[in-house]
Structure 1
Amino acid sequence: MRRFRVVLLAVVVALPLAGCGVPAQDEPHPVALPRRPLNVTASPTASEQAGEVAQVLCLTRDDRLVETVRRSGAALGPQRQLDLLVLGPTPAEQSQGLATSLAATGLRVTVPAPGTTAVVEISDPEEGGGRIDEALAYGQIVCTLTARPDIGAVTFVRDGRPLQVPDGDGAVTGRPLTAADYRSRIGPP
């Protein structure tokens, strides 16, 4: 009886695997992947069709971080991405309610070799350029840079000295930060 159960169990397990409908192949074959992010359902605009490389920027809407994708003809370096982040949203992004918390902020990024932790130098804030929500501003930087495949975390310095910054929950820390530290602030697109 036990042997019958073992054979029956083997047949029950093997039958679905054998008949899954995917034929075995001897050679690999190319797969055409979509060029648009999978979570975007709208048809591409002319500017999206012109570029081939997706660049993630984390902008803001209300008190939330919102990832937006811009396309360009070539991959941008981390400094150029931060420069675009400080410049803020395009007119099309503004019409969707997107903004930046980093206007008039001086940022310089380096990624010391052989690491994946970016170091962002933040200049002293300009007179009258105070932020209402610093966690949101730092979150924009961290989420933008860690969306890149070559950067895993971000630390901050001012005048070469380590800087304590707020995470997504407002806790102040000097440790390297990732997008997961701002998960509570990331909103829907």
Structure 2
Amino acid sequence: MITVRGLAALITISLLFTGCGVPAQDEPHPVTLPRRPLTATSAPATTEPLGEVAQVLCLVRDSRLVQAVRRVDAVPAPQQQLDQLVAGPTPNEQAQGMSTALAATELTVNLPIGSSTAEVGISETDDSAARTDAVLAYGQIVCTLTSRADIATVSFRRDGEPLRVPRGDGILTGEALRAGDYRSLIGPA
């Protein structure tokens, strides 16, 4: 006679053998992944070549930080990524209303071996110009660099000395910053 435990064991074994309804395959099959940024909305077609690595640059649209994802062939060095950020949006990104708050800014980045804090040196070419978009500019730098797997925080320096910069809430700090410090400025893609 079958006991309650025996019946429960038979039902469990039968469920294990039937699985989740996905038939077993003897050999793997290819899967085609989308070749566009996952955060993109129906953007106009681009003539730029598609690469294998997603590079994130944080640009500005309507006084908010937005991520622009560019496909490149290889992971760029942090300095290359900052140079592209300062160069500004591509024509396609401009057509989507993106701009940059980093005009007339020279940036250098140093990532000490074994550290996840990037040190960004800033020298503005025109110190007499008042910057009303400084929070966005620093937010662009921090959000771009911390989108990388090798950088968790960013600190700023001018002429080798620590530089106090505004967080997203406008408070000046000399501490290393994360993207979360600019959360209030990050807008939808």
Match of 2:143 in 1: 143
Deviation at 1:146? 0.6
Give the 3-state SS of the residue equivalent to 2:105 in structure 1: coil
Match of 1:47 in 2: 48
Within 5 Å, give how 1:18-33 maps onto structure 2. Answer: 19-22=19-22, 32-33=32-33
Query: Whose helix fraction is larger, Structure 1's or Structure 2's?
Result: 1
- Structure 2 gaps, min length 5: none
Within 5 Å, give how 1:1-189 maps onto structure 2. Answer: 19-22=19-22, 32-42=32-42, 45-49=46-50, 51-189=51-189
Deviations 1:81-137 (A, max 9, x none): 111111111222112111111101011000011111100001145145432121111
Query: What amino acid is the match of 1:73?
Result: D
**TM value normalised by structure 2:** 0.81
In 2, Cα distance between equivalents of 1:183 and 1:23: 44
Q: Residue 120 of structure 2 contacts residue 155 of structure 2 at CA under 8 Å; is this kept in 1?
A: yes
In 1, Cα distance between equivalents of 2:45 and 2:21: 34
**TM value normalised by structure 1:** 0.81
Deviation at 1:179? 0.8
In 2, Cα distance between equivalents of 1:73 and 1:123: 30
In 1, Cα distance between equivalents of 2:31 and 2:117: 33
| Count of aligned positions | 184
| Worse overlay, 32-41 or 136-145 | 32-41
Question: Kindly, what percent of the aligned residue pairs are identical?
Answer: 60
Look at both structures and tell me which one has the larger radius of gyration over its CA atoms. 2
Cα RMSD (Å):
3.0
Tell me: CA distance 1:84–1:129, structure 2 relative to 1, closer, same or farther (3 Å). Answer: farther
